[in-house]
Amino acid sequence: MRKPLIAGNWKMHFTVPEGLEYALQLRRDLEPYSAVVDAVILPPAVMLWEIANALRGCAIEVGAQNAGWEDQGPFTGEISPKMLAGWCHYLLIGHSERRQLFNETDEELNRKLHAGLRHRLKVILAVGETLEEYEAGRTAEVITRQLNAAVYGVELRQATELSVAYEPVWAIGTGKTATPEIAQEAHAFIKSLLDAPVLYGGSVKPENAEELLAQPDVDGALVGGASLEVESFAAICETAARLSRS
């Protein structure tokens, strides 16, 4: 069994002092699970450096929510994987909010994936279908297209630093959650296309974490709203640790 990966996506929440205080609380509360769970937090870019310093020597790793695909240049407002490399461990790309609200394309995500892997970041690639696509029975089609486009040209030796997050768009921020059976089916399908850890993302909460994480092909979770509260995020990590030990 793979060591479960629990990633907390803070999205656009907290000021820098608030985020720093919260990270220090997590450092204390997640310590008991560090031996059996890989815990990652994804703060807003403005506070990444402060939080990474505060967590130095701690088992909690830090990741960015997004990055550009060039190392440097005239790209106002962007941060590059090169800037993150060496101190920031993870990079999340392809979240549905980036795809939908900021019109990111599969081609752009392919370039971001190559850039992140080139700088030895552990990339979490999010894929998933909308409610309309799900109801039309197009889940496999959408996932196949998104995966094939994103990993085009990636060498197998690089793929060891890649994880996939399956996030049904209809279950993000809505309070809805895919049933464990739906999650398992989608995760198994992704693994038939790519040998990589697959996380479930989509309204993961302490109340549903166990039934989701207990599925054989669910290797962890990409947590949104529940990652903004110490008790909730710690409870999800505790569940992952307990299942990992059993």
Would you name the residues annotated as active-site residues? 95, 167
Phi, psi (degrees; rounded to nearest 5) at 234: -65, -35
**Residue given tokens 């392919």 in the structure block:** 110
- Cβ atoms of 121 and 102 within 8 Å: the answer is no
Helix (H) / strand (E) element for 9: namely strand 5-9
Neighbours of 31 (CB within 10 A): 13
- How wide is the angle at C-alpha 80 spanned by C-alphas 79 and 85, nearest 5°? 115
Residues 192, 187: Cα–Cα separation, whole Å = 9
Task: State both tokens at 110.
Answer: 């392919």
User: Is the torsion defined by CA of 177, 92, 89, 16 positive or negative?
Assistant: negative
**Residue given tokens 């979240």 in the structure block:** 95
Question: CB neighbours of 226 closer than 8 A, spacing ≥ 6?
Answer: 204, 205, 206, 232, 233, 236
Amino acid at 241: A
